[in-house]
Amino acid sequence: MSKKLLREFYALCEGGVGKDLLTEAEKRFIADGGMILSGIMQKSDTQNGNGRVYPHRILEREMKNYQKLVKEKRALGELDHPDDSVINLKNASHMITDVWWDGKNVMGKAKILETPSGKILRSLVDSGVTLGISSRGMGSVNESNGQTVVEDDFQLICFDFVSEPSTPGAFMMKEAKDYNNKVFTKADRINRLLNEVLDEKE
């Protein structure tokens, strides 16, 4: 079963910012002209608009690994989805600064960067354009009981900002080539293995 590039879409909070989710420091950052967007980033055990279901244990594992990127300030994303699994720094528009669980929902905050793509993203939000957050990852899927279930080999790469398609599921699944070695550093792979070993001991 070959891995595919999996991309999912979720709408942001109204206006792009859930003020109740922000710390006082973040509110000051916004008052000084910065922009932070927040909302639901992903859901587990729920069939999404693309017809896929992410089992909670798989998404929980991937979010634990993603936390390392967030802490190291390497959790970047792009404006629109590229056709591969590589995050292009020249196209980075935002940095995810926090992620957490709220029931089956993965919540998060994104700091808009002062990059060309970040400035476009900010301009779109300021103009009232409806944007969503969309996960990008590598993995295979399995058809089961009328649902497309994401398999255990799924690896979350990043979260991108996208415009909502008029048709749910308009984001295509691209066939993966040899992307595995380009996505994660050796340290990331070691961290992933350590998390799996620690989870087995719990």
Question: pTM surpassing 0.85?
Answer: no
β-partners of residue 38 are 109
What pLDDT is recorded for position 77?
Answer: 95
Catalytic member of 38, 44, 134, 135:
134
Q: What 8-state DSSP symbol labels residue 178?
A: S
Distances in whole angstroms, Cα of residue 10 to Cα of each of 7, 49, 86, 115, 192: 10, 9, 21, 23, 26
Catalytically annotated residue among 38, 81, 93, 94 = 81
| Helix, strand, coil share of the chain (percent; to 5) | 30, 35, 35
Catalytic status, residue 134: yes
Active site residue 140: no
Predicted confidence (pLDDT) per residue in 109-155, tens digit: 889 999 999 999 999 888 888 778 888 899 999 988 888 999 999 99
Q: Are strands 147-150 and 52-53 parallel, antiparallel or unpaired?
A: parallel
Show the CA angle centred on residue 119, arms to residues 27 and 100, nearest 5°.
Answer: 45
